[in-house]
Amino acid sequence: MTCPSTCDPDRQPVATLSVDAAGEQAWNEQQLAAPVQAPAARLWRYPQPAVVLGRSQRALIASLQMGTHRIVQRAAGGGAVLVGPWMLSASVVLPLGHRLLQGGSIAGSYRWLADVFVAALAMHGVAAAAVPPERSRRAAADLAWACFAGISAWEVAVDDRKLVGFAQRRNRQGVLLVAGVLLGSVPWQNLCDAMRRPALQAQGLADTTVDAAHLLGRPLPAAMLAGTLACALAKALAA
């Protein structure tokens, strides 16, 4: 994928890998296994669907493993996410005290990443905005188990419907930021089935989210957005 003209041809763009969800989590864990010396990032595409549980949902794994979807645990916070061909994700690892971490604020550390996603999406005709803290929204009580049900500060949305979600993990080695953008229609019913949740909640998740294809009226191929994001992330991390 050719980078847009704003991408420095001498700067190596961030790699995009097509993996299962477990491969993504393995890379994330490896990055924080030793002190982070320099920023690193990857973009992820998912040929096969999987349910990725947040750190606080670890106790659910045993009860959900017998379902039709693979269940994967992540070390970052947040609720359950259904990954698959409808999603493009990013992992960014930063050293402790890095300038992009906004002085250590958990919410503030997302702001630059939101700007990257907003700008990259705009290059493909998707008009979205980062949500400031005063406009953040808690998930409805019955949907709090799902990552995309609420909108945290600086996540990316369109008309109060979430388009890009963030999560992070911090330890003594560094900081991991993760993001996922909805490219196409998400089978929310599959997520509800996998999580043993009432079918009615699938509509609730659909009502609180939006995807790029819906906004454009046509598909936004993962490879196209990945090419733009790869360059934008490389530029932000090197600045």
- Model confidence over 8-23: pLDDT tens digits? 545 567 999 999 999 9
What whole-number distance in Å separates Cα of residue 40 and Cα of residue 219?
29
Helix 222-238 / helix 111-122 crossing angle, nearest 10 deg: 140
The pLDDT score that the predictor gives to residue 11 is 56
* High-pLDDT (> 90) share of the chain, %: 82
Query: pLDDT for 115-167, tens place per residue?
Result: 999 999 999 999 999 999 999 999 999 999 999 999 999 999 999 999 999 99
The CB density around residue 59, as the number of other CB atoms within 10 Å, is 8
- Report which of residues 208 and 57 the model is more confident about: 208
Residue 80 pLDDT grade (very low, low, confident, very high; cuts 50, 70, 90): very high
The pLDDT score that the predictor gives to residue 138 is 95
Picking from 77, 50, 73, the residue whose alpha carbon sits closest to that of residue 60 is 73
Could you give all domains of the chain from N- to C-terminal order, each with its CATH number?
24-238 (3.30.930.10)
- Mean residue pLDDT of the chain comes to 92
- Is pLDDT of 47 > 80? yes
Q: 153 by DSSP, 3-state: which?
A: coil
Please give the single-letter amino acid code of residue 21: A
Picking from 233, 235, 216, the residue whose alpha carbon sits closest to that of residue 163 is 216
What whole-number distance in Å separates Cα of residue 68 and Cα of residue 212?
27
> Which DSSP symbol is given to 13?
P
Residue 60 in contact with residue 53, Cβ under 8 Å?
yes
Residue 2 pLDDT grade (very low, low, confident, very high; cuts 50, 70, 90): very low
Torsion angles phi and psi, residue 67, rounded to 5 = -80, 180
Query: pLDDT for 218-236, tens place per residue?
Result: 999 999 999 999 999 999 9
Query: pLDDT for 186-207, tens place per residue?
Result: 999 999 999 999 999 999 999 9
Q: Do strands 161-171 and 156-158 pair parallel, antiparallel, or not at all (unpaired)?
A: antiparallel
- Is pLDDT of 4 > 60? no
The pLDDT score that the predictor gives to residue 69 is 82
Mean pLDDT of 78-89: 96
Mean pLDDT of 35-45: 97
Residue 7 pLDDT grade (very low, low, confident, very high; cuts 50, 70, 90): low
Structure-token pair, residue 19: 């993996």
